[in-house]
Amino acid sequence: MSYLIRSLVITLSLLLSTTVFAGNTSYYGSKFHGKRTASGSIFDMNSLTAAHRTLPFGTKVQVTNQKTKQSVIVKITDRGPFIRGRILDLSKAAAGQINCQLCTTTMEILSYGDGKYRKE
């Protein structure tokens, strides 16, 4: 099954099921700062964005650090994480707001994006 079809199947199953997920979250920063993301936008490690494997680009999610109970709202602009067991990669700014370098979080979907590629 191709990556695109698998992504669509996973995304549709997520849409039809719960909107809250739990798992390990990490962050990415300076190595990717200023580079183009999978959505077409330029990555800014100081903005409140995140990478997720399948959620449509533009989706807004509330991420809560389970240890500190701090939350941040981020927009999905990239694909990842590509490390097994992780559900989300936060920008450095978003990770800083919830005190997370590698932590367990819950992710609640607030609104779904349109998934379109935007060269901004």
* Per-residue model confidence as pLDDT tens digits over 66-115: 999 999 999 999 999 999 989 999 999 999 999 999 999 999 999 999 88
Report the pLDDT averaged over residues 7-33. 75
Residue 119 has pLDDT above 80, yes or no: no
Homologous superfamily, domain 3-111: RlpA-like domain (2.40.40.10)
Output the pLDDT for position 19: 72
Tell me the C-alpha distance between 103 and 85, whole Å. 12
Mean pLDDT calculated for residue range 39-65: 95
DSSP string, 8-68: HHHHHHHHHS-SEEEEEEEEE-TTTTTSB-TTSSBP-TTSSEEE-SSSPTT-EEEEEETTT
Q: DSSP assignment, residue 119?
A: -
Between these two residues, 70 and 119, which has the higher pLDDT value?
A: 70
pLDDT reported for residue 16: 53
Q: Rounded to whole angstroms, how far apart are CA atoms 119 and 26?
A: 26
Element containing residue 7 per DSSP (H, E): helix 3-16
Q: Quote the pTM value.
A: 0.83
